[in-house]
Structure 1
Amino acid sequence: MDAEAQDSFREFVEHRSSALLKTAVLLSGGDRHAAEDLLQNALIKAAGRWRRIEEPEAYVRQVLYRQQISRWRLKWRRRELTVAEPPDTGAGRDGAADADLRLLMRGALARLTARQRTVLVLRYFEDLPEGDVARILGCSVGTVRSTTHRSLARLRALAPELAVLGPPDAAEVPSRDYSPVEVRP
């Protein structure tokens, strides 16, 4: 890599690595060390092809997704973290509600399978349409839809506290009556 390409690559890493790391953390289920490894490997692959890459961020994100897919296709099981006492959810929130919510979400995401987590990250964090997610994961749109549905159901079961973020209850939404009406002249 020549000096100009090195400068361009360094600038890209300086400006985009924090956003890319956030995606990697979500893909890895909140494991920051695994996310850093994931991002580092993606950047190494990008550095080797830097001159030929037209859209660097899209390329690096694609490498992140594909590496994560390769990781969850492996037969290895993720080591489970055991603790002596369950974490305190904090009854009284004093401005740290966002941090509590992030921790709750991270914990719930970490308990999903890697495939479920990957689909949710691509659909809702990366805001990709179902067709793009299906293309990235190498599956059908129907598989993406069913995996999304099952993943959200599992997420709701794992962390019912997240229900405050969802759509309002059906009882709160006014219903519309579309039954036929007799019209008289």
Structure 2
Amino acid sequence: MSDRESEFRTFAAARMESLRGLAYLTCGDWQTAEDAVMSALSKLYVRWSRVENPEAYARTAVVRAAIDETRRPWWRRERAHGHALPDRVVPDGAPVVDERLRMRAALGRLPAKQRAVIVLRFLEGLSVQQTASTLKFPEGTVKVYTARGLETLRQILGTELEACHEAAV
């Protein structure tokens, strides 16, 4: 195995889960997220020796691939719908899971580009400039998508809370 290949494998192994999580939050489907990550990593591998910042390149490629998947699902002929059982018993994380599901459902109601901006800004912790660079948007567009996305999330989550309170009364 060459040094180049070894470096790439080390990078891919270290970043796989975070890239997969980023893709999932962007597109909302684990299988599509895996496809987006594999596509991004295969593009990165071909360009590995020429890429100055592999982290930024991978993040950009994953988000773009995930957005493309949500735009063009019609070209995919097969989708896996099976759910694998866990290998080991894990503690009940119901309270955390409920909040994650609620947030995931709210994120899923945002348009793909707004969702990508929100995920990159607040879950990946990127600045406006880094997000703009990643998505190849002007910084002003990132700011507008951030504001609109957050406002939509507030409305969605606020409506859910009101409905829960009314149901409880």
Report the TM-score when normalising by structure 1. 0.66
Q: 1:133 to 1:16 in 2, by over 3 A?
A: closer
Q: Which moved more, 1:153-162 or 1:36-45?
A: 153-162
- Tell me which residue corresponds to 1:86: none
Taking the TM superposition and a 5 Å limit, the aligned residue runs for 1:98-177 are 98-160=96-158
- Name the SS for the 2:19 alignment partner: helix
Aligned pair partner of 2:45 in 27, 38, 47: 47
| CA deviation after TM superposition for structure 1 residue 150, in Å | 1.4
Determine the C-alpha separation between the residues in 1 that align with 2:156 and 2:18: 27
Pair member with larger Rg: 1
Q: How many residues align?
A: 144
Determine the C-alpha separation between the residues in 1 that align with 2:16 and 2:46: 17
Q: 1:59 to 1:95 in 2, by over 3 A?
A: closer
- Tell me which residue corresponds to 1:81: none
Compute the RMSD of aligned alpha carbons. 2.6
**Identity rate of aligned residues, in percent?**
41
Deviations 1:8-63 (A, max 9, x none): 222222221011111111111x2111111110000100111222233322221121
Q: 1:7 to 1:95 in 2, by over 3 A?
A: closer
| CA deviation after TM superposition for structure 1 residue 161, in Å | 7.8
Determine the C-alpha separation between the residues in 2 that align with 1:162 and 1:112: 15
Matched AA of 1:45: K
Which is helix-richer, 1 or 2?
A: 2
Instruction: List alignment gaps of at least 5 residues for structure 2.
Output: 75-91, 162-169
Instruction: List alignment gaps of at least 5 residues for structure 1.
Output: 77-93, 164-185
- Tell me which residue corresponds to 1:14: 13
The answer (yes or no) to whether the contact 2:51–2:57 under 8 Å persists in 1 is: yes
Report the TM-score when normalising by structure 2. 0.72
